[in-house]
């Protein structure tokens, strides 16, 4: 097992912005959890039974959630290369547990702009039914593909195409022709 770098080397997320909103410090993944206004991430996380290989998370003494090292190859990015797995482990930023239990503040952007969602069929962090439910309630244009939770790393061609289409504000119609 690799040792985690000291927190001095990592940018630990803040729990609140000056306006009181929760700041989670997580990256925006095409298959991420999308809370509704007033909803907590725990409402989404515990909506369905977790995948059997999903890590059991608990806050540390600083109220931070870290993925255990073995969660990266087993659940977060099982299709990642060995080199990418090392980078993921040493560069991860924790999630402040209060970000999971604090209701989303203010309007959520997906209600007001066109939204695209990549349903990750091999995601072990967010179960398939939860992903589909989130995509449908966002009225998102979505596609389902055989990718894991971190497709921007493990299927970067597909993720890049999705993001390029999204920024061009055109639906990702040729998403089915993406190369792995």
| % of the chain at pLDDT higher than 90 | 32
The answer on pLDDT for 180 being more than 60 is no
To the question of pTM greater than 0.75 for the whole model, the response is: no
Whose tokens are 């929760």? That residue is 22
3-state secondary structure of 148: coil
- Report whether pLDDT(70) > 60: yes
Asked whether the beta carbons of 92 and 11 are under 8 A apart, the reply is no
Kindly state the greatest CA–CA separation across the chain: 47
Per-residue pLDDT tens over the stretch 87-96: 999 999 998 9
pLDDT at 168 (0 to 100): 60
Q: Which of 96, 180, 159 is nearest to 172 (CA)?
A: 159
Show Cβ contacts of residue 6 under 8 Å, excluding neighbours closer than 6 positions: none
Q: Fold for domain 35-170? A: Rossmann fold (3.40.50)
Q: What is the mean pLDDT of residues 158-171?
A: 60
Q: Tell whether the model's pLDDT for residue 45 goes beyond 50.
A: yes
């Amino acid at each position: 097992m690799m040792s985690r770098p000291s927190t001095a080397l990592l940018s630990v997320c803040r729990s609140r912005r000056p306006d009181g909103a929760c700041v989670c410090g997580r990256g925006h993944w095409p298959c991420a959890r999308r809370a509704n206004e007033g909803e907590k991430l725990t409402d989404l996380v515990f909506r369905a039974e977790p995948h059997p290989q999903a890590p059991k998370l608990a806050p540390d003494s600083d109220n931070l959630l870290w993925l255990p090292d073995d969660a990266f190859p087993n659940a977060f990015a099982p299709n990642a290369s060995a080199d990418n797995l090392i980078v993921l482990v040493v560069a991860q930023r924790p999630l402040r547990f209060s970000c999971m239990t604090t209701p989303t503040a203010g309007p959520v952007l997906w209600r007001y702009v066109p939204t695209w969602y990549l349903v990750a069929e091999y995601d072990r962090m967010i179960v398939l039914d939860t992903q589909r439910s989130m995509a449908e309630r966002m009225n998102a244009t979505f596609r389902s593909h055989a990718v894991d939770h971190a497709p921007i790393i493990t299927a970067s061609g597909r993720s890049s195409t999705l993001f390029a289409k999204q920024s061009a504000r055109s639906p990702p119609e040729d998403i089915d022709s993406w190369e792995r």
